[in-house]
Structure formats: C-alpha cells, structure tokens
Amino acid sequence: MASTLLTVGKVIGVHGTKGEVKILSLTDFPTRFKMGLSLYVHSSLLETDELKIEWVKNTSKNIIIKFGGIESRKDAEKLKGSLLQISNKKAHSLPKDAYWQHEIIGLKVITSSKELVGYVTEIMRTGSNDVYVVNWEGKKESLIPAIKDVVKKIDLKNKLMVIEPIKGLLE
C-alpha cells in the first residue's frame, strides 16, 4: 500500500519572536505532537517540506510548537495556514468502526432504500459528533450526523456509505 499523508494539524498563527507557531490540532491524538517528531509541512514559502519538532507547549486553546530551522517570527509567518501531516505508517491504530477522514471523504452516500444522496465532500468536527457534508449535482447540500442511528454502513472497499435518514434530514 502506498504511503498516504494524514493531516494532524494546521498552523494558525505565530507565537513570540523566536519562530514558535500556534497549532490547531486536527487529530484525535494530540499527544502525538512531541519533541523529535518530524511533520510534513505544505508551504510554498519553505525550502523544505519536513520539519522536526524541537519543543511543544500545550495551552488551554492551542498547541505551541517550535520547529528546528524556524528561528524568527518572520520564518514562522511563512508557515501560517500550512497543514501539518504525517505518513500513515506513523498513524495510531483506530478502534473498530473508526475511520480516517481521507477514507470518508469521497464516499458515495445512499439511503437504505438505495436513493442517491451524494458524495461526502467535507467533515465538520462538532463537540458531540462529526457531521458529513454531502453534495450532489443539482441538489442542495445535506448535513449527515456521524451517529449510529443515521450511518448504518461504511463500506470502504466499495466506497459506499449507507444511511437511514431521520425525519427531516434530507428535506
């Protein structure tokens, strides 16, 4: 299986004057951000695409990271908006019936009565459960809560999600 990059965070700002950045964690495993971890950083303003964490500080709102080679506020500004990714080979194991976002996005969504709803285009993270954003040409966007009462089956092999819509969900 070819290596896939998994997004685990996003640089949302700079912190201080010595190259530190604020990270929004996009992982269920925020403890992965540790000294020595190498992350792929997608920024056209950098000469390298892989940076190693020198130190990490957790705050009540964000994670502050200092990367090796990023030594000034000006350097840190170049990272703003960048996604932080790891190889799927470094990914944590998921529990049964849990999926990576890249596995869900693009799935064809049908109802249990085989009516096409559309394709998952985005996943919104909410406090209680994720919400799948589903679009189909000519139809309005549908927001599908990622709960067992609604999502009845996810078949990654056939790239299919079967839902049982609750009253008013697709209206």
Question: pLDDT digits over 72-92, tens only?
Answer: 999 999 999 888 888 777 666
Domain segments of the chain as ranges: 5-90, 101-163
Q: Categorise residue 152: left if φ over 0, alpha if ψ from -120 to 50, beta otherwise.
A: alpha
pLDDT digits (tens, 9 = 90+) for 111-130: 999 999 999 998 888 878 88
* Percent of the chain topping pLDDT 70: 91
**CB of 122 closer than 8 Å to CB of 133:** yes
* Percent of the chain topping pLDDT 90: 45
Task: Return the minimum-mean-pLDDT range out of 68-82, 130-144, 147-161.
Answer: 130-144
pLDDT of residue 103: 83
Determine the average pLDDT of the residues in 23-51: 80
pLDDT of residue 2: 44
Q: Which fold would CATH assign to domain 5-90?
A: Elongation Factor Tu (Ef-tu); domain 3 (2.40.30)
Q: Which CATH class is domain 101-163?
A: mainly beta
